[in-house]
Amino acid sequence: MSQSPRISSYDEFWRFYLHEHANPKTRLWHIAGTGAACVFLLAAIVTYRFEFLIAAFIAGYGPAWIAHVGIEKNRPATFRYPLWSLVADFRMTFAWVRGGLDRELERAGVANPQERPR
């Protein structure tokens, strides 16, 4: 089985990332995980406790990876593009918080979830 060609720019990766997160349930799991990871990172900074860094990693990646396996049925991009994936997780979360995620999805050509077949 051959691998797809390597993505060479973050802009190209962002479009790929949004397609890999086409299902709104997957995005919800990612956004919840990113939010929890932020809380644990803040706790680590405030308390200087390493355990909170471990918790941030688990809270951030655990729900995301589970969503990819259970909902999207694809392989998390983190395994191939770890830094870009981390940046994209935060970008997607902040776009959602600002109310601009639908616009980003539309620009990337991701179908409107209401129009997707079930």
pLDDT at residue 26, rounded to an integer: 94
- Say yes or no to pLDDT of 115 above 60: no
Question: How many CA within 13 A on the CB side of residue 55?
Answer: 14
Query: pLDDT tens digits, residue range 97-111?
Result: 999 999 999 999 997
Query: pLDDT tens digits, residue range 26-77?
Result: 999 999 999 999 999 999 999 999 999 999 999 999 999 999 999 999 989 8
Whether the Cβ atoms of residue 110 and residue 22 lie closer than 8 Å to each other:
yes
CA gap 15, 34 in Å, rounded:
19
Query: Which residue type is seen at 115?
Result: E
CA gap 20, 109 in Å, rounded:
12
pLDDT at residue 1, rounded to an integer: 41
pLDDT band at 5 (very low <50, low <70, confident <90, very high): confident
Tokens of 90: 């935060």
pLDDT at residue 22, rounded to an integer: 92
What's the mean pLDDT in 6-21?
94
- Compute how many other C-beta atoms are within 10 angstroms of the C-beta atom of residue 41: 17
Q: Please name the residue ranges forming H helices in the chain.
A: 10-20, 24-47, 50-67, 82-98, 101-108
What's the mean pLDDT in 76-97?
94
pTM: 0.84
CA gap 44, 26 in Å, rounded:
27
pLDDT at residue 111, rounded to an integer: 76
